[in-house]
Structure 1
Amino acid sequence: MKPTKALHDLGQSLWIDDITRDMLDSGTLRKYIDDYSVTGLTSNPTIFDNAISKSDSYDDEVKRLFKAGYSGEALFFELALQDLSRAADMFLPVHERTASVDGFVSLEVSPLLAYDTEATVSEAKRLFERAHKPNLFIKIPGTKEGLPAIEEAIYSGVSVNVTLLFSSQHCIDAADAYMKGLERRVAEGLSPDVRSVARSSSAAGTRRSSTRCRRS
Protein backbone atom coordinates (compact mmCIF):
# COMPACT_ATOMS: atom_id res chain seq x y z
CA MET A 1 0.00 0.00 0.00
CA LYS A 2 1.28 3.47 -0.89
CA PRO A 3 2.08 5.69 2.13
CA THR A 4 -0.39 8.29 0.80
CA LYS A 5 -3.15 5.65 0.66
CA ALA A 6 -2.31 4.58 4.22
CA LEU A 7 -2.60 8.20 5.39
CA HIS A 8 -5.88 8.57 3.55
CA ASP A 9 -7.27 5.43 5.15
CA LEU A 10 -6.34 6.81 8.58
CA GLY A 11 -8.54 9.84 7.90
CA GLN A 12 -5.94 12.37 6.71
CA SER A 13 -6.95 14.60 3.81
CA LEU A 14 -4.06 15.08 1.42
CA TRP A 15 -4.14 18.36 -0.47
CA ILE A 16 -1.57 19.73 -2.89
CA ASP A 17 -0.54 23.38 -2.80
CA ASP A 18 0.03 23.79 -6.53
CA ILE A 19 -1.73 23.96 -9.87
CA THR A 20 -0.63 24.56 -13.46
CA ARG A 21 -2.34 24.09 -16.79
CA ASP A 22 0.35 21.56 -17.64
CA MET A 23 -0.72 19.46 -14.63
CA LEU A 24 -4.26 19.46 -15.97
CA ASP A 25 -3.41 18.82 -19.63
CA SER A 26 -0.85 16.10 -18.98
CA GLY A 27 -3.02 14.07 -16.61
CA THR A 28 -0.69 14.70 -13.67
CA LEU A 29 -3.47 15.96 -11.41
CA ARG A 30 -5.65 12.99 -12.36
CA LYS A 31 -2.76 10.69 -11.41
CA TYR A 32 -2.41 12.43 -8.03
CA ILE A 33 -6.11 11.81 -7.37
CA ASP A 34 -6.28 8.23 -8.65
CA ASP A 35 -2.86 6.91 -7.60
CA TYR A 36 -1.89 8.99 -4.57
CA SER A 37 -5.24 9.59 -2.84
CA VAL A 38 -5.03 13.38 -3.14
CA THR A 39 -8.41 14.80 -2.14
CA GLY A 40 -8.04 18.56 -2.53
CA LEU A 41 -6.02 21.43 -3.92
CA THR A 42 -5.23 25.00 -2.95
CA SER A 43 -3.69 27.90 -4.81
CA ASN A 44 -2.61 31.50 -4.39
CA PRO A 45 -1.54 34.36 -6.69
CA THR A 46 2.15 33.38 -6.43
CA ILE A 47 1.40 29.84 -7.57
CA PHE A 48 -0.48 31.11 -10.60
CA ASP A 49 2.17 33.74 -11.36
CA ASN A 50 4.79 30.98 -11.49
CA ALA A 51 2.51 28.75 -13.54
CA ILE A 52 1.75 31.41 -16.14
CA SER A 53 5.22 32.97 -16.36
CA LYS A 54 7.14 29.67 -16.56
CA SER A 55 5.02 27.91 -19.18
CA ASP A 56 3.82 28.59 -22.70
CA SER A 57 0.60 26.65 -22.04
CA TYR A 58 -1.26 29.89 -21.34
CA ASP A 59 0.04 31.93 -24.27
CA ASP A 60 -2.79 31.34 -26.72
CA GLU A 61 -5.48 31.90 -24.08
CA VAL A 62 -3.79 35.07 -22.85
CA LYS A 63 -3.80 36.42 -26.41
CA ARG A 64 -7.47 35.48 -26.87
CA LEU A 65 -8.54 37.07 -23.60
CA PHE A 66 -6.49 40.20 -24.27
CA LYS A 67 -8.22 40.62 -27.63
CA ALA A 68 -11.55 40.14 -25.83
CA GLY A 69 -10.75 43.10 -23.57
CA TYR A 70 -9.29 41.38 -20.52
CA SER A 71 -6.18 42.79 -18.86
CA GLY A 72 -4.47 42.94 -15.47
CA GLU A 73 -6.26 41.18 -12.63
CA ALA A 74 -9.34 40.48 -14.73
CA LEU A 75 -7.24 38.45 -17.14
CA PHE A 76 -5.40 36.73 -14.28
CA PHE A 77 -8.58 35.64 -12.52
CA GLU A 78 -10.13 34.43 -15.76
CA LEU A 79 -7.15 32.11 -16.28
CA ALA A 80 -7.24 31.01 -12.63
CA LEU A 81 -10.96 30.27 -12.79
CA GLN A 82 -10.48 28.21 -15.93
CA ASP A 83 -7.85 26.03 -14.27
CA LEU A 84 -9.63 25.70 -10.95
CA SER A 85 -12.95 24.90 -12.61
CA ARG A 86 -11.28 21.97 -14.37
CA ALA A 87 -9.65 20.87 -11.13
CA ALA A 88 -12.95 21.20 -9.26
CA ASP A 89 -14.60 18.86 -11.74
CA MET A 90 -11.85 16.29 -11.16
CA PHE A 91 -12.34 16.46 -7.39
CA LEU A 92 -16.15 16.48 -7.58
CA PRO A 93 -16.48 12.68 -7.08
CA VAL A 94 -14.48 13.04 -3.85
CA HIS A 95 -16.69 15.94 -2.81
CA GLU A 96 -19.84 13.93 -3.42
CA ARG A 97 -18.49 10.71 -1.86
CA THR A 98 -17.57 12.55 1.36
CA ALA A 99 -20.89 14.43 1.56
CA SER A 100 -19.14 17.75 0.80
CA VAL A 101 -16.55 17.39 3.57
CA ASP A 102 -13.59 17.06 1.17
CA GLY A 103 -12.74 17.39 -2.50
CA PHE A 104 -12.32 21.18 -2.55
CA VAL A 105 -10.13 23.51 -4.60
CA SER A 106 -9.24 27.02 -3.40
CA LEU A 107 -8.95 30.42 -5.06
CA GLU A 108 -7.59 33.42 -3.18
CA VAL A 109 -9.01 36.92 -3.43
CA SER A 110 -6.65 39.62 -4.61
CA PRO A 111 -4.02 40.58 -2.01
CA LEU A 112 -4.65 44.19 -3.05
CA LEU A 113 -7.92 43.95 -1.11
CA ALA A 114 -6.27 42.86 2.15
CA TYR A 115 -7.29 46.00 4.05
CA ASP A 116 -10.71 46.46 2.46
CA THR A 117 -13.45 44.36 4.06
CA GLU A 118 -16.29 45.38 1.77
CA ALA A 119 -14.26 44.87 -1.40
CA THR A 120 -13.09 41.47 -0.15
CA VAL A 121 -16.69 40.35 0.43
CA SER A 122 -17.77 41.63 -2.97
CA GLU A 123 -14.91 39.88 -4.75
CA ALA A 124 -15.39 36.63 -2.80
CA LYS A 125 -19.04 36.52 -3.82
CA ARG A 126 -18.25 37.41 -7.42
CA LEU A 127 -15.58 34.72 -7.81
CA PHE A 128 -17.71 32.09 -6.09
CA GLU A 129 -20.69 32.84 -8.31
CA ARG A 130 -18.52 33.12 -11.42
CA ALA A 131 -17.00 29.67 -10.88
CA HIS A 132 -20.37 28.13 -9.97
CA LYS A 133 -18.69 25.06 -8.47
CA PRO A 134 -19.97 23.50 -5.22
CA ASN A 135 -16.46 22.47 -4.21
CA LEU A 136 -14.70 25.83 -4.54
CA PHE A 137 -13.26 27.57 -1.48
CA ILE A 138 -12.53 31.29 -1.61
CA LYS A 139 -9.41 32.07 0.40
CA ILE A 140 -9.70 35.07 2.71
CA PRO A 141 -6.99 36.11 5.19
CA GLY A 142 -7.84 35.90 8.88
CA THR A 143 -6.69 39.48 9.47
CA LYS A 144 -8.50 42.27 11.31
CA GLU A 145 -10.15 43.33 8.07
CA GLY A 146 -10.56 39.74 6.87
CA LEU A 147 -12.53 38.42 9.85
CA PRO A 148 -15.72 40.43 9.18
CA ALA A 149 -15.33 39.53 5.50
CA ILE A 150 -15.23 35.84 6.45
CA GLU A 151 -18.41 36.21 8.52
CA GLU A 152 -20.20 38.03 5.71
CA ALA A 153 -19.01 35.56 3.06
CA ILE A 154 -20.21 32.57 5.11
CA TYR A 155 -23.52 34.33 5.72
CA SER A 156 -23.80 34.82 1.95
CA GLY A 157 -23.25 31.10 1.33
CA VAL A 158 -19.64 31.35 0.14
CA SER A 159 -17.39 28.51 1.31
CA VAL A 160 -14.19 29.97 2.78
CA ASN A 161 -10.61 28.78 3.22
CA VAL A 162 -9.16 31.03 5.95
CA THR A 163 -5.46 31.72 5.45
CA LEU A 164 -2.71 33.72 7.21
CA LEU A 165 -3.37 32.50 10.76
CA PHE A 166 -0.29 32.80 12.96
CA SER A 167 -1.48 31.91 16.45
CA SER A 168 -4.07 29.87 18.31
CA GLN A 169 -6.01 33.07 18.98
CA HIS A 170 -6.12 33.81 15.25
CA CYS A 171 -7.61 30.34 14.71
CA ILE A 172 -10.20 30.95 17.43
CA ASP A 173 -11.10 34.32 15.91
CA ALA A 174 -11.51 32.72 12.48
CA ALA A 175 -13.73 29.98 13.90
CA ASP A 176 -15.79 32.65 15.68
CA ALA A 177 -16.29 34.57 12.43
CA TYR A 178 -17.37 31.33 10.75
CA MET A 179 -19.88 30.54 13.49
CA LYS A 180 -21.29 34.08 13.44
CA GLY A 181 -21.93 33.74 9.72
CA LEU A 182 -23.69 30.41 10.24
CA GLU A 183 -25.76 31.74 13.14
CA ARG A 184 -27.01 34.60 10.97
CA ARG A 185 -28.02 32.10 8.28
CA VAL A 186 -29.88 29.92 10.78
CA ALA A 187 -31.65 32.95 12.23
CA GLU A 188 -33.01 33.71 8.77
CA GLY A 189 -34.00 30.13 8.02
CA LEU A 190 -31.13 29.55 5.58
CA SER A 191 -29.16 26.32 5.31
CA PRO A 192 -26.19 26.12 7.70
CA ASP A 193 -24.37 23.81 5.31
CA VAL A 194 -21.60 26.21 4.31
CA ARG A 195 -18.12 24.73 4.56
CA SER A 196 -14.87 26.27 5.78
CA VAL A 197 -11.31 25.25 6.55
CA ALA A 198 -8.47 27.14 8.22
CA ARG A 199 -4.77 27.21 7.39
CA SER A 200 -2.25 27.82 10.15
CA SER A 201 1.11 29.40 9.34
CA SER A 202 4.47 29.53 11.06
CA ALA A 203 7.95 30.85 10.50
CA ALA A 204 8.87 27.44 9.09
CA GLY A 205 6.20 27.66 6.42
CA THR A 206 2.53 27.17 5.87
CA ARG A 207 0.55 23.99 6.34
CA ARG A 208 -3.04 23.00 6.42
CA SER A 209 -4.29 22.89 9.96
CA SER A 210 -5.47 19.50 11.16
CA THR A 211 -8.36 21.32 12.80
CA ARG A 212 -11.03 22.48 10.40
CA CYS A 213 -14.13 24.57 10.86
CA ARG A 214 -16.88 22.39 9.45
CA ARG A 215 -20.62 22.24 9.48
CA SER A 216 -22.11 18.78 8.96
Structure 2
Amino acid sequence: MAKQLDYHTIREIFTRFQASEPEPKGELDHVNAYTLVVAVALSAQATDKGVNKATAELFKIADTPQKMLDLGEEQLIEHIKTIGLFRNKAKNVMKMSRILVDDYGGEVPCSRAALESLPGVGRKTANVVLNMWWQYPAQAVDTHIFRFGNRSGVCPGKDVVAVERAIEDHIPVDFQQHAHHWMILHGRYICTARKPKCNACHVRDLCQFEDKTP
Protein backbone atom coordinates (compact mmCIF):
# COMPACT_ATOMS: atom_id res chain seq x y z
CA MET A 1 0.00 0.00 0.00
CA ALA A 2 1.39 3.38 -1.01
CA LYS A 3 1.43 6.25 1.43
CA GLN A 4 -1.19 8.97 1.18
CA LEU A 5 -0.41 11.54 -1.53
CA ASP A 6 -0.41 15.23 -0.66
CA TYR A 7 -3.17 17.66 -1.58
CA HIS A 8 -1.44 19.27 -4.55
CA THR A 9 -0.56 15.95 -6.18
CA ILE A 10 -4.13 14.66 -5.79
CA ARG A 11 -5.52 17.87 -7.23
CA GLU A 12 -3.23 17.54 -10.25
CA ILE A 13 -4.29 13.90 -10.79
CA PHE A 14 -7.98 14.79 -10.82
CA THR A 15 -7.38 17.89 -12.90
CA ARG A 16 -5.94 15.54 -15.54
CA PHE A 17 -8.83 13.10 -15.17
CA GLN A 18 -11.29 15.94 -15.62
CA ALA A 19 -9.47 17.27 -18.69
CA SER A 20 -9.54 13.81 -20.24
CA GLU A 21 -13.20 13.02 -19.39
CA PRO A 22 -15.15 16.06 -18.10
CA GLU A 23 -18.42 14.16 -17.50
CA PRO A 24 -17.64 10.49 -16.74
CA LYS A 25 -20.64 8.17 -16.71
CA GLY A 26 -21.39 4.83 -15.16
CA GLU A 27 -21.65 2.02 -17.69
CA LEU A 28 -24.79 0.30 -16.39
CA ASP A 29 -27.89 0.97 -18.51
CA HIS A 30 -30.97 2.18 -16.61
CA VAL A 31 -34.05 4.35 -17.15
CA ASN A 32 -34.94 5.42 -13.61
CA ALA A 33 -33.83 5.03 -9.99
CA TYR A 34 -35.46 1.61 -9.65
CA THR A 35 -33.79 0.10 -12.70
CA LEU A 36 -30.48 1.59 -11.54
CA VAL A 37 -30.81 -0.14 -8.15
CA VAL A 38 -31.66 -3.42 -9.86
CA ALA A 39 -28.80 -3.12 -12.36
CA VAL A 40 -26.21 -2.34 -9.69
CA ALA A 41 -27.45 -5.20 -7.49
CA LEU A 42 -27.21 -7.57 -10.47
CA SER A 43 -23.68 -6.40 -11.27
CA ALA A 44 -22.10 -8.01 -8.19
CA GLN A 45 -19.58 -10.56 -9.47
CA ALA A 46 -20.67 -9.80 -13.04
CA THR A 47 -19.57 -7.39 -15.77
CA ASP A 48 -21.52 -4.27 -16.64
CA LYS A 49 -21.65 -5.46 -20.24
CA GLY A 50 -23.19 -8.76 -19.18
CA VAL A 51 -25.76 -7.03 -16.99
CA ASN A 52 -26.72 -4.61 -19.77
CA LYS A 53 -27.26 -7.50 -22.14
CA ALA A 54 -29.51 -9.27 -19.64
CA THR A 55 -31.55 -6.19 -18.71
CA ALA A 56 -32.04 -4.76 -22.21
CA GLU A 57 -35.37 -6.55 -22.67
CA LEU A 58 -36.17 -6.87 -18.96
CA PHE A 59 -36.36 -3.12 -18.35
CA LYS A 60 -38.72 -2.68 -21.29
CA ILE A 61 -41.37 -4.66 -19.44
CA ALA A 62 -40.41 -4.28 -15.77
CA ASP A 63 -39.15 -0.79 -15.01
CA THR A 64 -41.04 -0.33 -11.71
CA PRO A 65 -41.26 -2.46 -8.55
CA GLN A 66 -44.90 -3.36 -9.25
CA LYS A 67 -44.20 -4.40 -12.83
CA MET A 68 -41.35 -6.60 -11.55
CA LEU A 69 -43.71 -8.25 -9.06
CA ASP A 70 -46.25 -8.76 -11.85
CA LEU A 71 -43.54 -10.33 -14.01
CA GLY A 72 -42.72 -12.88 -11.31
CA GLU A 73 -39.53 -14.55 -10.14
CA GLU A 74 -39.43 -17.32 -12.76
CA GLN A 75 -39.76 -14.89 -15.67
CA LEU A 76 -37.13 -12.65 -14.07
CA ILE A 77 -34.78 -15.64 -13.90
CA GLU A 78 -35.28 -16.25 -17.61
CA HIS A 79 -34.01 -12.73 -18.32
CA ILE A 80 -30.99 -12.77 -15.99
CA LYS A 81 -29.87 -16.43 -16.10
CA THR A 82 -26.70 -15.47 -17.97
CA ILE A 83 -25.54 -13.51 -14.89
CA GLY A 84 -23.65 -15.14 -12.05
CA LEU A 85 -25.66 -16.00 -8.90
CA PHE A 86 -28.85 -15.30 -10.87
CA ARG A 87 -31.21 -17.32 -8.65
CA ASN A 88 -30.21 -15.56 -5.45
CA LYS A 89 -30.22 -12.20 -7.21
CA ALA A 90 -33.71 -12.86 -8.56
CA LYS A 91 -34.98 -13.61 -5.05
CA ASN A 92 -33.45 -10.38 -3.76
CA VAL A 93 -34.91 -8.30 -6.60
CA MET A 94 -38.38 -9.67 -5.87
CA LYS A 95 -38.03 -9.07 -2.11
CA MET A 96 -36.68 -5.59 -2.77
CA SER A 97 -39.57 -4.82 -5.11
CA ARG A 98 -42.13 -5.97 -2.54
CA ILE A 99 -40.60 -3.73 0.15
CA LEU A 100 -40.50 -0.75 -2.22
CA VAL A 101 -44.18 -1.21 -3.05
CA ASP A 102 -45.34 -1.88 0.52
CA ASP A 103 -43.13 0.55 2.46
CA TYR A 104 -42.11 3.27 0.01
CA GLY A 105 -45.08 3.65 -2.32
CA GLY A 106 -43.13 2.16 -5.20
CA GLU A 107 -40.43 4.84 -4.98
CA VAL A 108 -36.72 4.28 -4.34
CA PRO A 109 -35.69 6.00 -1.08
CA CYS A 110 -32.82 8.47 -1.23
CA SER A 111 -31.07 7.81 2.07
CA ARG A 112 -28.13 5.44 2.43
CA ALA A 113 -29.64 3.67 5.44
CA ALA A 114 -32.96 3.05 3.69
CA LEU A 115 -31.22 1.80 0.56
CA GLU A 116 -28.94 -0.51 2.54
CA SER A 117 -31.98 -2.02 4.27
CA LEU A 118 -33.17 -3.42 0.92
CA PRO A 119 -32.33 -7.06 0.09
CA GLY A 120 -29.29 -7.34 -2.15
CA VAL A 121 -28.27 -3.71 -1.61
CA GLY A 122 -25.03 -3.08 0.25
CA ARG A 123 -23.12 0.11 0.91
CA LYS A 124 -21.47 0.14 -2.52
CA THR A 125 -24.79 -0.23 -4.35
CA ALA A 126 -26.38 2.45 -2.18
CA ASN A 127 -23.52 4.85 -2.89
CA VAL A 128 -23.71 4.22 -6.65
CA VAL A 129 -27.44 5.04 -6.65
CA LEU A 130 -27.02 8.14 -4.48
CA ASN A 131 -24.25 9.40 -6.74
CA MET A 132 -25.63 8.54 -10.16
CA TRP A 133 -29.31 9.31 -9.61
CA TRP A 134 -29.34 12.03 -6.96
CA GLN A 135 -25.91 13.54 -7.71
CA TYR A 136 -24.85 13.16 -4.10
CA PRO A 137 -21.04 12.84 -3.84
CA ALA A 138 -21.15 9.34 -2.37
CA GLN A 139 -18.12 7.18 -3.12
CA ALA A 140 -18.80 3.63 -4.26
CA VAL A 141 -15.56 1.71 -3.73
CA ASP A 142 -15.21 -1.32 -5.97
CA THR A 143 -12.19 -3.50 -6.76
CA HIS A 144 -10.92 -1.04 -9.38
CA ILE A 145 -10.94 1.93 -6.98
CA PHE A 146 -9.45 -0.15 -4.18
CA ARG A 147 -6.58 -1.22 -6.45
CA PHE A 148 -5.91 2.21 -7.94
CA GLY A 149 -6.27 4.00 -4.62
CA ASN A 150 -3.72 1.77 -2.93
CA ARG A 151 -1.28 1.61 -5.83
CA SER A 152 -1.24 5.33 -6.51
CA GLY A 153 -1.58 6.72 -3.00
CA VAL A 154 -4.68 8.74 -3.94
CA CYS A 155 -6.85 6.97 -1.36
CA PRO A 156 -4.99 4.09 0.35
CA GLY A 157 -6.79 1.91 2.89
CA LYS A 158 -6.86 -1.64 4.22
CA ASP A 159 -10.55 -2.10 3.41
CA VAL A 160 -13.25 -0.46 1.31
CA VAL A 161 -14.56 1.68 4.17
CA ALA A 162 -11.06 3.05 4.81
CA VAL A 163 -10.64 3.82 1.10
CA GLU A 164 -14.06 5.49 1.00
CA ARG A 165 -13.05 7.65 3.97
CA ALA A 166 -9.73 8.52 2.32
CA ILE A 167 -11.57 9.67 -0.81
CA GLU A 168 -13.87 11.88 1.24
CA ASP A 169 -11.02 13.26 3.36
CA HIS A 170 -8.35 13.88 0.73
CA ILE A 171 -9.90 14.46 -2.70
CA PRO A 172 -10.83 18.13 -3.15
CA VAL A 173 -14.57 18.70 -2.97
CA ASP A 174 -14.84 20.09 -6.49
CA PHE A 175 -13.87 16.62 -7.77
CA GLN A 176 -15.96 14.57 -5.35
CA GLN A 177 -19.03 14.21 -7.59
CA HIS A 178 -17.18 12.35 -10.34
CA ALA A 179 -14.24 10.97 -8.35
CA HIS A 180 -15.39 7.38 -8.15
CA HIS A 181 -16.31 7.25 -11.86
CA TRP A 182 -12.90 8.56 -12.91
CA MET A 183 -11.17 6.00 -10.71
CA ILE A 184 -13.40 3.08 -11.77
CA LEU A 185 -12.82 3.79 -15.45
CA HIS A 186 -9.10 4.29 -14.89
CA GLY A 187 -8.86 1.03 -12.95
CA ARG A 188 -10.98 -0.87 -15.46
CA TYR A 189 -9.11 0.21 -18.59
CA ILE A 190 -5.65 1.49 -17.57
CA CYS A 191 -4.68 0.49 -14.03
CA THR A 192 -5.68 -3.13 -14.56
CA ALA A 193 -4.97 -5.89 -12.06
CA ARG A 194 -2.43 -8.06 -13.85
CA LYS A 195 -0.81 -5.91 -16.51
CA PRO A 196 -1.46 -2.24 -15.82
CA LYS A 197 -1.06 -0.08 -18.91
CA CYS A 198 1.33 2.33 -17.25
CA ASN A 199 2.70 3.48 -20.62
CA ALA A 200 -0.78 4.81 -21.46
CA CYS A 201 -1.43 6.36 -18.04
CA HIS A 202 -1.64 10.13 -17.95
CA VAL A 203 -0.95 10.28 -14.19
CA ARG A 204 2.04 7.89 -14.30
CA ASP A 205 4.51 10.55 -13.15
CA LEU A 206 2.40 11.26 -10.03
CA CYS A 207 1.63 7.66 -9.08
CA GLN A 208 3.56 5.87 -6.31
CA PHE A 209 3.15 2.36 -7.74
CA GLU A 210 6.66 0.87 -7.68
CA ASP A 211 6.09 -1.96 -10.21
CA LYS A 212 5.11 0.20 -13.17
CA THR A 213 5.05 -1.66 -16.47
CA PRO A 214 7.47 -0.32 -19.12
Same fold (TM over 0.5): no
The structure with higher relative contact order (CA 8 Å, sep 6+) is 2
State the TM bucket, normalised to the shorter chain. under 0.3
Would you tell me which structure has more helix in proportion to its own residues? 2
Higher Rg of the two aligned structures = 2
The structure richer in strand per residue is 1
